[in-house]
Each structure stands twice: as C-alpha cells, then as structure tokens.
C-alpha cells in the first residue's frame, strides 16, 4: 500500500486527515501576468485547534515559516526590498536576511535564511486559480519529498531552468530539515 506523502490542505481538512501532532504546509501565490511567484512553507506542531474562516484555515498553534519567491529577470522593481513592495509582490523579507540564487535565465530565487515564528496562531489562505496549499505529512523523507516538489514547481510554474530549480530545491530542503523541525517531537519518536 502506498504511503500518503502530501495532500491538498483543504481536502485534508474536509476529510479529517490533518495530523494534529506535526505537519508541513506549502502555499503558492502565482501571478497571472508574470513568472513572479511566492511560496510560503510553514511547519507546525501540537495543534490545539483548527477552524475554517472566511479567507482560509486558522491553526491555533505555533508555526515556523520560510518565505520563498522567484523574481523574473524582467521584474521592474528589483532594487526595492521585498517587504516594501506593492501588496501583490510583497514578501516579509529583507535582502540581507535572504539566500539568493541567480538562475541561468537571470531570474532570482530568493528565500529566508532563518524561519519566522508564528506564535499561537497562523492562517493559511484558501488558494484561488492556479495557486495551491499542500500538506506534507511528517514522514522520515518529508524533506526529500519537498525537494522533488520544489524542483518541479520552480521549473514548471515559476520558469526557473531545471538545473537551477534542482540547486534551489536542494538548498530549500536542507534549510527546512534544519530549521522547520520540532526537536522535542523528534526526540519522542
């Protein structure tokens, strides 16, 4: 029998298949008119409650977030700090707090060096259009699954050349395995 590694987050919620002890959520926000793409990776542990609200699912627990975005070569506001950009392009990061990979096609893959803490609660916005929110189950190979996932989505959705998407996906998965885990839970298992 195949092991379920990931599932649409809102489907997992409706089917009561959300793990209460620990999980990883990857959300995307794609632009219709550009390859500019934003991803949010959240890990949570010891879920106290979850409820569906008007714009998404609210998790009552602590979370750790990594932000990732792809800036196409022709993006006109490259010099503006990500946290100061227009609303649809805004990412809560500063360049000095980011890892930056310049791809062969001159697009940039920019992601957090350290996670941001979400204390007591966070909300995952219900995706619209081609956007998505996936739940990754806390299996021993969860970060290998995320690496493969990011290789594909960075290449196919964000227009990053395959070689560069593999490099970025590997670095993101390695970072996640170091900063998105919950040590107290790992010790119990």
Delimit the domains of the chain by residue range: 6-183
Beta strands in 31-183 (DSSP E): 37-52, 56-71, 98-102, 108-112, 116-118, 122-125, 133-136
Question: DSSP assignment, residue 66?
Answer: E
Task: Identify whether the C-beta of residue 133 lies closer than 8 Å to the C-beta of residue 10.
Answer: yes
Q: By C-alpha distance, which of 127, 139, 38 is closest to 90?
A: 38
Q: Residue 38 — very low, low, confident or very high, per pLDDT cuts 50/70/90?
A: very high
How far apart, in whole angstroms, are the C-alpha atoms of residue 108 and residue 88?
A: 17
**Residue 183: its pLDDT value, please?**
72
The pLDDT > 90 percentage for the chain reads 78
Whether the per-residue pLDDT at 188 is higher than 50: the answer is: no
Q: Which of 68, 98, 65, 67 is nearest to 81 (CA)?
A: 98
pLDDT bracket for residue 29 (50, 70, 90): very high
At 184 the pLDDT is 57
| Mean pLDDT confidence for 69-81 | 94
pTM as predicted: 0.91
């Amino acid at each position: 029998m195949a092991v379920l590694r990931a599932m649409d987050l809102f489907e997992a919620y409706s089917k009561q298949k959300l793990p209460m002890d620990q999980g990883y959520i990857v959300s995307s926000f794609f632009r219709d008119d550009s390859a500019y793409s934003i991803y949010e990776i959240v890990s949570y542990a010891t879920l106290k409650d979850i409820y569906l609200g008007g714009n998404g699912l609210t998790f009552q627990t602590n979370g750790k977030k990594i932000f990732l975005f792809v800036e196409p070569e022709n993006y006109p506001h490259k010099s503006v700090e990500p946290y100061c950009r227009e609303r649809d392009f805004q990412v809560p990061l500063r360049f000095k707090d980011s890892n930056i990979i310049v791809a062969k096609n001159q697009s940039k893959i920019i992601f957090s060096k350290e996670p941001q803490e979400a204390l007591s609660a966070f909300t995952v916005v219900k995706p619209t259009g081609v956007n998505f929110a996936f739940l990754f189950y806390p299996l021993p190979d969860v970060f290998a699954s995320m690496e493969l996932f990011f290789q594909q989505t960075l290449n196919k959705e964000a227009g990053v050349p395959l070689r560069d998407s593999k490099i970025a996906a590997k670095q993101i998965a390695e970072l996640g395995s170091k900063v998105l885990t919950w040590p107290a839970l790992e010790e119990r298992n």
